[in-house]
Structure 1
Amino acid sequence: MRGDIARSYFYIEGRYDLKISTQNRKLYEVWARQASSGIRARNSYCAGQGQSHGLA
């Protein structure tokens, strides 16, 4: 959820030429990294599950 919020702020910043404060940018970058690492872990787990059942 936080990663989605962070990516939304980055999109709005770029699309509407708004500025995010340095403090908030650092926070959103952490959120985005945590979300992407969670997605990679979930995908790896799911891929492993599919392969063990012969689905991949």
Structure 2
Amino acid sequence: MEWLMSTGFVPDGQLERLRSLPDIGREELIKYFTLTSREHAFLDAPGWGPEARLGLAGQLR
């Protein structure tokens, strides 16, 4: 991630954490990233295109 370079604004230790992915298990992935039935119903509303649905789903989680 060349765009995520230290400029002195972010401490080096924090910068390394931002560059790496957290070590989480399958259960945590399912718990935090599965949409609820209410969220699905919201995203299925008329008028949302595929791009909007994807963006909204990301914001919901």
**TM-score normalized by the length of structure 1:** 0.28
Q: Which has the higher contact order (CA 8 A, sep 6+)?
A: 1
> Which has more helix, going by share of residues?
1
